[in-house]
Amino acid sequence: MMEDFNSETDSDYTSYWRDWFVSSRGNEYFCEIDEDYLTDRFNLTGLNTEVPYYQYALDLVTDVFDLDADDDLREQIEKSARHLYGLVHARYIVTTRGLAKMLDKYKKCDFGKCPRVICEGHPLLPMGQSDLPNMSTVKLYCPKCEDIYNPKSSRHASIDGAYFGTSFHSILFQVYPALNPEKSMRRYEPRIYGFKVHAAAALARWQDGWREDLHWRLAEFDMTHKFIEESESEDDAFDYVEEPEGAKVDKVVAETASGRMDLGN
Amino acid sequence: MSSSEGAPESWISSFCSLMGHEFFAEVSEDFIEDDFNLTGLQSQVPRYKEALEMILDVEPEDDEEEEEEEEDDDDEILGDERPVEYRRAGERRHARVASDLSDIESSAELLYGLIHQRYITSRPGIQQMLEKYEMQHFGVCPRVNCNGCKVLPVGRSDTPGQETVKLFCPGCMDIYTPPNSRFHSVDGAFFGTTFGCLFFMTFPDLDIGPRLDASLASAVSRNASQPNRSPPPQVPFESPTPDDQPLEINGVRTSNFCPGLGRGKIYDSKIYGFKVSEASRVGPRMRWLRMKPRDMYELDETDIHEKMAARQGPGEFQPPGDKDGDMEMNPEQTQEMAIANRKKAPMRRRRREAGDPTPSDRMSVQGAEIG
């Protein structure tokens, strides 16, 4: 299914510009936009005001550019084309085909791995903090810890976040809920000579209280949620202060919930 | 023999200048020469005596006339990843058999690492690490909401050979893998589990939050590179904490206590500007990890316990100005309050008293965030 999407793109006409763009260094986060998508005017609504030399840029992206421009102008158009490609990209990746392509890249870890140690190198997804261009650079979302991180490579740090948009990663998991990773409630516990540090431990207990409240809130929607550690039979790696209470909550939740939520594994 | 090369670098400084060893401090020779500091290491490090001599650049006295071997052997054993400096340091002691030398070299590395683990928790050592920290030698937190908080190298185990070095961020109390792969072969035990927290307790006045000038500078540079619009609106939304906050909570200064956590520092997934509901199958499940009470007194467990024990009425210790809650909450929160009634845990009851946000308040907060 996903392979189909990839292989059927522009079989006859080699997409020179897009091919070059996607494969050039620093653009590893982008996927290739289908020709059909780019040529459908509806998909480009509103972009003509956002991108200078819009028509030339579009021609360049779709490989029909034949203007005899001087170097200066050509550079301008080239810049516009990259900008246009990015903005269309943000729209494209939330379509069925786009999602499938990005999912493929996600599975290949093309966007890198979560730097958080407890996430054990979970693959990341690119995102922007704004849908408007020139607001902030691209960030990486970890679906496991549900937090966002800066790309570690400086060549990615300059990509505009709007080329991926704020919604993409959420939509991806709405469309493929089975891929939502199991969350972990493990955490780093700072210690000094083996003893837990009180300030950190007190905060951890307070946060654990909220985590248990989550079960109750979800029970109101007839939902249950299990962290990895809870679905495992024994939990000897980490012991929690509120463990007995947590276990009790689970039991109650199991009673009240009509159907177990399918976590997708 | 070693003097033939002029005045060579000491083993310690050549070790610390190697690629990937940028996190190490140079342990002073005084520290190593004090036998007390080396207690117990003899049993952990093979060829301890020779390794120690190598670290201290002491000429072995007795085996000067040991048979020499060709250098080819040396290359073979040391392999490609062995940097040149090693060999140079080794060649100074060419009285030794080559294979022997590489054994001792790796022992010396191990020994140095273990001494280093102890040294950086000592007074001169931690001071040296402070200098490195302030010069940002260890890098910054990759988490966006930590705003480039400076990190420290730590280990997850004090036993060598278990895990590589990690970076501890005081802003979010979490640990991260170093971005550069050259650190992925450095043993975490050489920094130890204790160092990270001890460091910040030793220097409680160290400003770990994003400094005003630092954030301004980054904003300016961002504006310079992308002149169109202002920096993201996240920062200005951080409202001040309630007025009567303690200066210090649980031994940590309030301003230095996890500045990367809490209200405004939690990422919310949004689709077209709307937050993904918790009732969604793939809704947020990890917000607790980045939460922090707005009212720091909620973390004063002893005080809460005493007050609960005294059975004081609600509202007794409700601080002014936290009407809008200790956290930014979802509308589901009201239901949570109802559920919380059923529970007896004092923590929870305390929280309900402290922050019962009105739905309209929350709506406006969320509304403002969209955009």
Closest Cβ opposite residue B197 in set A190, A208, A219: A190
pLDDT for A224 = 85
Strand-pairing partners, residue B38, are: none
Contact A80, A53 (CB under 8 A): yes
- DSSP string spanning A191-216? EETTEEPHHHHHHHHHHHHHHHHHHH
- The mean pLDDT of chain B is 75
Instruction: Give residue-wise pLDDT tens across range B252-265.
Output: 888 889 999 998 89
Strand-pairing partners, residue A192, are: A195
Q: Provide the percentage of residues in chain B whose pLDDT is more than 70.
A: 62
Instruction: Find how far residue B143's CA is from the centre of its chain.
Output: 12
pLDDT category at B15 given cuts 50, 70, 90 is: very high
CA–CA separation, A61 and A54 (whole Å): 11
Q: Which residues of B touch A221 (CB under 8 A)?
A: 278-279
Closest Cβ opposite residue A166 in set B143, B270, B286: B270
pLDDT category at B99 given cuts 50, 70, 90 is: confident
pLDDT for B250 = 87
In 3D space, the residue among A207, A201, A199 whose CA is nearest the CA of residue B262 turns out to be A207
Answer yes or no: do A211 and B288 touch at CB < 8 A: yes
pLDDT category at B162 given cuts 50, 70, 90 is: very high
List all residues 6 or more positions away from A172 whose beta carbon is below 8 Å from its beta carbon: A99, A102, A103, A106, A125, A179
Please state the ipTM of this predicted complex: 0.80
What's the whole-number mean pLDDT along residues B67-81? 43
Instruction: Give residue-wise pLDDT tens across range B237-295.
Output: 444 556 678 888 888 888 889 999 998 899 999 999 999 999 999 999 999 999 999 88
Q: What is the pTM of this model?
A: 0.75
CA–CA separation, B218 and B213 (whole Å): 9
Q: Which residue of A has its CA nearest to B302?
A: A202
Q: Which residue of B has its CA nearest to A180?
A: B282
- The CA-CA-CA angle for residues B257, B258, B263, to 5°, reads 110
> Which of A155, A217, A228, A250 to mutate to probe the B interface, most B CBs <10 Å?
A217
In 3D space, the residue among A30, B252, B286 whose CA is nearest the CA of residue A19 turns out to be A30
What's the whole-number mean pLDDT along residues B53-63? 78
Which segments of chain A have a pLDDT < 70? Answer: 1-15, 232-265
Helical H segments across chain A, by residue range: 2-7, 16-23, 35-39, 47-50, 54-61, 71-92, 96-107, 154-157, 168-175, 198-220, 228-231, 243-256
pLDDT category at B212 given cuts 50, 70, 90 is: very low
Q: 3-class SS at B260? A: coil
pLDDT for B61 = 62
The CA distance from A171 to the nearest CA of chain B, in Å, is 7
pLDDT surpasses 80 at B323 = no
